[in-house]
Amino acid sequence: MSEMLANRYFIARRFDLALPIFEKEVARGNHHVAIQKKMIICYCAVGRLEEAFELFFELVQQDPGIIINTDPYWDDCPCPQMVKEWENTEQKAGINPREALMIGMLYLYCDLDKAIYYLEKALDYDDYFLKISSVLRHLKKVKSDAMKSKIKAED
């Protein structure tokens, strides 16, 4: 029941209300990846970047496809809108590594190339250099494998 309420808040873009309910679900042992993916978005939206990245890192280590295979329409993912807003701010004021990390995480839900681009900009975020490097290795391998599959399919 509470997961349904959290999902309704998520759909309404009330991330501040959805997040504590999702956190309670996880604390109760509900580690469904759909909840975890939404938690990353909520953490970013409310400015809790470090918690977002720890969960993001965990899911990417498990399987980058968990996030990459998100369908923005069917999963009601707000990431395309969110990154456009932050990119507009970036163009006006420049970007720091912390913001690049957030944008890179969110882009992975809808655009692998842009996710890689922003995560590379985030490498200057000293506290997370090693983990960001690890994520980038995983994502570049996924991209390389996808390109190889495409080439084979064309042959």
pTM above 0.75, yes or no: yes
Mean pLDDT of successive 10-residue segments in the chain (155 residues)? 90 96 93 93 96 96 93 86 79 79 94 95 89 95 83 71
Q: Look up the domain containing 101 and give its range.
A: 2-146
Per-residue CA distances from 142 to 60, 65, 67, 68, 137 (Å): 11, 8, 12, 10, 9
Total domains in the chain come to 1
92-123 pLDDT, tens digit each: 567 889 999 999 999 999 999 999 999 999 99
Q: Is residue 151 part of a domain?
A: no
Q: What CATH number did the domain enclosing 137 receive? A: 1.25.40
In a domain? residue 85: yes
| 104 assigned to some structural domain | yes
Q: Is residue 152 part of a domain?
A: no
The set of residues, in sequence order, having a beta carbon less than 8 Å from that of 4 and lying 6+ positions away, is none
